[in-house]
Amino acid sequence: MSERRVRVRFAPSPTGPLHMGGVRTALYNYLFAKKHGGDFILRIEDTDQTRFVSGAEAYIIEALKWCGIEPNEGVGFGDGPHAPYRQSERKPMYRQYAEQLLKDGHAYYAFDSSEELDEARKRMEKSGAIFMYNAITRQNMKNSLSLSADEVQKRIDAGESYVIRIKIPRNEEVRLEDIIRGWVVVQSAQMDDKVLFKSDGMPTYHLANVVDDYKMQITHVIRGEEWLPSAPLHVLLYRYLGWENRIPQFAHLPLLLRPDGNGKLSKRDGDRLGFPVFPLNWIDPVTKEQSSGYREKGYFPEAFINMLALLGWHASGNKELFSLEELVQEFSLERISKSGAKFDPEKTKWFNQQYLRVRSDEELAKEFQSSEPRIQKEDFKYVKKVCTLIKEKANFLNEFWSLGSYFFVEPTEYDKEVIKKRWNEKSKAFMAELATTYKSASDFSAANSENMFKQTCEKLGIKSGELMQLFRVCISGVTGGPALFEAAALVGKGEVVKRLEKACNTLTLPSP
């Protein structure tokens, strides 16, 4: 095994937008491939035409691009030696393997109609059991094991529709070693004769998946836990197709759980739990229902990826912040846990905040200015200074305007609570006096404006603590924000004076 070049694949079905659990699967595949200098492939598994959703494939590609985890081979990322990478385009390739299995006695034709299958199911349910198409029941169904060879040929010649099923042995132990879960042992009596090839001429997921993993020389299958029950079947397929020495190593990833630990985080959760479950916005092409994405909510892809990496995997130490390159260095399948990983929306915001803080003021200012039409004409140096002051208070870049609009436009509203509590004859007189003092100041640095503020307090015999908040509200409209005198200095002398005068002229005093 060790001499084979590592090749892994992300193999989503285009049945809807990519859920963040899917992004995590793609991420772990990406990290593993990069760590081992191997290949990461995107294969689109679209054999089930009935579940095809238009736009889903483009969405998957865009999401991987946004996350910065681009495959180096596959749909949307350039053809490698194994093209095509869309299973519907590989259709002619699969039939020969179904036929090989038929010839070798590992598969058989089945002619049962859906009504007949339903009846069999109901009969079984009446006796309190669950129907499985298997070594016992297949004898009473219509297939090439129960019918004579002549009869089978006649049906095929007459164009009757059929499927091809795998012939699971009656009593055999199927074993596989999963990197995360260790040995998995399943009795074949618990497995059913899954359909491998459908009446529409398409292979099912199982056959196509195994054939493609083999043909694309996949060395490691890293996928969600929901596929673990299919793994023994895949092992048998490798064996029956004569590819046993090329079975990939399996790693089945733990589920992503809802924040309360109560069940799996599913696509259907949409925005219902108060946070997005998709990387990008998605509009359902049929229902037009909209679901939000992390990108549009204002998350940085690096923060999103960092957060996802730690959902089910941990680094060797306690470190939590990793660049993609650092994740590649640190990643190992052995440190993925078996148990489900609880998603924590608050922690996700924290990650974004950390990434916001390490961005340079220069970068933030560029992004702020290009995303906010109201400040596009502002002086860049000034925008940068605003960013320096407000970034500590923000989790997202898209909060910058609401946190710092007063650096660009004077407030039109004032915090009602503070005004009600603090605006009176005395405080009004103070603000008027402060405006006059400031007007004649030659130095309006943060330190000096604070000194002048304090001197004015002393002069009028008022405690400065009572007035600081009101002063902030007079110049910004709001109660919270960066260091008050830093903010005042940046707003500038002329503007601060103007705003103080405006407050004195417009705010009404409480009736006596």
Residues that bind ligand GLU (CB under 6 A): 11-13, 45, 205, 209, 223, 227
Nearer to ligand GLU, 205 or 406 (CB): 205
In the β-sheet with 195-197, what is the strand arrangement from edge to edge?
Answer: 107-110, 163-166, 195-197
Q: How far apart are CA 129 and CA 125, in angstroms?
A: 5
Nearer to ligand GLU, 180 or 503 (CB): 180
Catalytic-labelled residue, pool 65, 264, 267, 347: 267
Rounded least distance, CB 132 to ligand GLU, Å: 22
Q: How far apart are CA 16 and CA 48, in angstroms?
A: 13
Nearer to ligand GLU, 194 or 384 (CB): 194
Nearer to ligand GLU, 209 or 476 (CB): 209
| DSSP string computed for 307-320 | HHHTSSB--SSS--
Nearer to ligand GLU, 45 or 302 (CB): 45
Taking the alpha carbons at both ends of the chain, their separation in whole angstroms is 88
267 is known as an active-site residue: yes
Rounded least distance, CB 11 to ligand GLU, Å: 4
Name every residue whose Cβ is closer than 8 Å to that of residue 341 and which is 6 or more positions away in sequence.
Answer: 254, 255, 256, 257, 311, 312
Rounded least distance, CB 9 to ligand GLU, Å: 7
Rounded least distance, CB 12 to ligand GLU, Å: 5
Backbone angles phi, psi at 484, to 5 degrees: -60, -50
Nearer to ligand GLU, 13 or 348 (CB): 13
| DSSP string computed for 250-307 | EEEEPPEE-TTS-SB--GGGTTTTSS-SBSS-EE-TTT--EE-BHHHHT--HHHHHHH
Q: How far apart are CA 234 and CA 193, in angstroms?
A: 12
Q: Most distant CA pair in the chain: distance in Å? A: 112
Rounded least distance, CB 49 to ligand GLU, Å: 14
| DSSP string computed for 205-256 | HHHHHHHHHHHTT--EEEEEGGGGGGHHHHHHHHHHTT-GGGPPEEEEEPPE
What number of other Cβ atoms are within 10 A of residue 238's Cβ?
A: 19
Nearer to ligand GLU, 46 or 112 (CB): 46
**Strands of 122-190, DSSP E:** 163-166, 173-178, 182-187
Rounded least distance, CB 69 to ligand GLU, Å: 16
Rounded least distance, CB 223 to ligand GLU, Å: 3
Q: How far apart are CA 328 and CA 435, in angstroms?
A: 57
Q: What is the DSSP-derived secondary structure letter of residue 442?
A: S
What is the CA angle 56-61-65, rounded to 5?
Answer: 145
Nearer to ligand GLU, 237 or 500 (CB): 237
Q: How far apart are CA 223 and CA 21, in angstroms?
A: 10
Rounded least distance, CB 73 to ligand GLU, Å: 16
Burial of 227 (0-12, 13-18, 19+ CB in 10 A): middle
- Consecutive H or E run containing 446: helix 446-460
Q: What is the DSSP-derived secondary structure letter of residue 10?
A: E
Backbone angles phi, psi at 111, to 5 degrees: -105, 0
Catalytic residues: 267
